[in-house]
Structure 1
């Protein structure tokens, strides 16, 4: 930005001209902030004000009311005092060449100078570092000598401590004045004491020193992220303090302090946390990402991913930060799996590399996180009912050889399957087992049949898991088991009169009623040579009948 002061002409405000003429210019391009401040007594400015001392970011200024003496600059000289010693006098034009602007108007005398001039010096007032310029103006008019004493003293102390930026100033910066009131604010605007206290400002007197502490993240301040190996942040506060003092003449002296206070670089780590949901999915949250930091890329186990491959959702937080949620299912090809034989578990793992970019510089920083979870992994069959039995499927995995498949104590083999009438097929991808209804291993409960497959540790034979599947009986099925028990489900919907109950039916022996019934069916289970059964002998077989 280019600034000019315009009154009787256009005057470019350069860095040197700003300090000499009472302007301060602040440009913070990373924050999008530009500010120009002008002293009430700056060049090209009309003014009416009480006695003033201004401590700006780039200059000091003192202004006092002028008595009835000559305003002609050529009739005046200035002598500076440094460490108690008077330096050689010089005229105002010589002082101007050395960086001191002394302005005489009809009503005021103004002294302005940049910091660090040869005639300025640093002292400690009540333990607080202060830069001071002490000048005496002299003018001889006939037999009279006029003297104007000008002192500009500015506190230079800014500290950072435990979340606060602190500025200190002597309670009475000018020993001959009594401090009356201190007001604080930011960005050139004072605020009421109640507002300051509500925002966490602390203004307290400690012996003879005033301490002003402002939270580093106070409203009105500026925050910026920075990459220096790791992610850092710093905060900038443009402090404005007004200190009003009185002399015995009851004339106010107002000290205005404008200072830019900056925290040191503060480490700002982001964090990740992992939540494993019931749907066997990694849900990884990257949090506490500052508002000027963006997620540029995500690599999962070395593979670049994005929202079209995996779910990546931005989450806005109320504290001016945000985060990102990444979801990856356990069975996704990018997830690495490692078998832990000691406890028969499978380790699922994601190594994630987040690329974060600080705007607008586009400086990148990387955050690496590893998330993992252990899952019990004995093989599990998937069971499905079909018209005449139950089918079981097992997808093969490289470590399935550690387990054995059994029904009770009987291990599954091709020979056992053929013996019991099971249909077994096994290839490199999966094992399929069809178990027809009423074959060996079923348990019957009411109108339902249950079949259980056990997974045993090959070394210890201990049961690690089981797959249990229960399916309904077909409506009219007859079961003759090898222990001599007959089980039958009978549909009586056509045989019963209106309002009849299947529970009032029986076999030939009326003491043998149904084991279970519903609205239309009855289940009978009885020894084949009991309940009135009729036995017929033939040459090669025996027939048992009941009704």
Structure 2
């Protein structure tokens, strides 16, 4: 009668329930243990349809040590064994052949020999180092896992697995110190630029600065930045037109804003890393005052009443016309010592001012027209700290200026201190000091009185 597959394990268990283990030791009487007693002492007996497997730990009381020759299985077919497959891996896990090839491992099977190669420093191993007698030494080790699958004469598949620690000799090396200054990643946003930095263990060795200023939460608040600093990292949100930006390639369509974060050595303050992000932004209206003394203005001229014609706008020097224009806006770019720019000093600030103007066309004298239209005037200013400006040879400032655009007002000629600008090639009103002139009403001379005879009294005397 044949047993089904589901009943066979139960039949084997019931058939072996009465089995016993007998241990024979030379010079001693045999010891018999039931399966339960043997299991309590650490012995394991497993039954399969074709074999009985006994497992036992080393050093048990019923076992003894003896020297026997080591028997190894050949890789080729010999004495009834045939090698089918050989695989390698690390840390008790076999690797796919493609993975071993990507890591540089090599496996060569020859006649009766297997050659395995692992490159120094390959993935899966470990490099360890130590110092001995003032010498830096390093070695490489890997926990190699080996499996050989072979077939016996009964066509039963057998697997031989082996784990071995492979280690190179200690190799002397010259110590190399590698600096890892923190580097921010930048992301362009519609409103500005966002910088991110993940904290690392060595970041305490560096100072993060904006220019020469240490980046702290208090400094960020004063500058208008949004900063979050926690255990994970630093998030710095830098809105457009806050201090620290460099503006370039300005036209009526777009301009580029660049912001830079510096990583400095905490001890020497030497710059070790530049984190720079350059982003495009759409141009609406803006004013930029560069460190080289150039003012760039983009503004609308049709908001006034009456509307100004962009093509007929100029600066105080009417030869200075827009660099670009469209239906509503103008772009002026000029040096602060040209185009009629005026200068004054107020509250330790050096202020450069010009005016965007639109003059109405004069009407012919033979066709006079009464109109209420007024002249369009828009004041544009750049202000610099006096101590930051050097004008010995040409205009230079250590910091960008602050720009403003507003309604033009009568120019204040009073200066806090006289400042001489260098004489440019073309003399303008900004190249000479401005002297205040005060107009006073004319004085009337004191009156002199004299007697004047009337016409009638003169006749009487003559008569």
TM-score if structure 2 supplies the norm length?
0.38
The structure whose residues are more often strand, as a share, is: 1
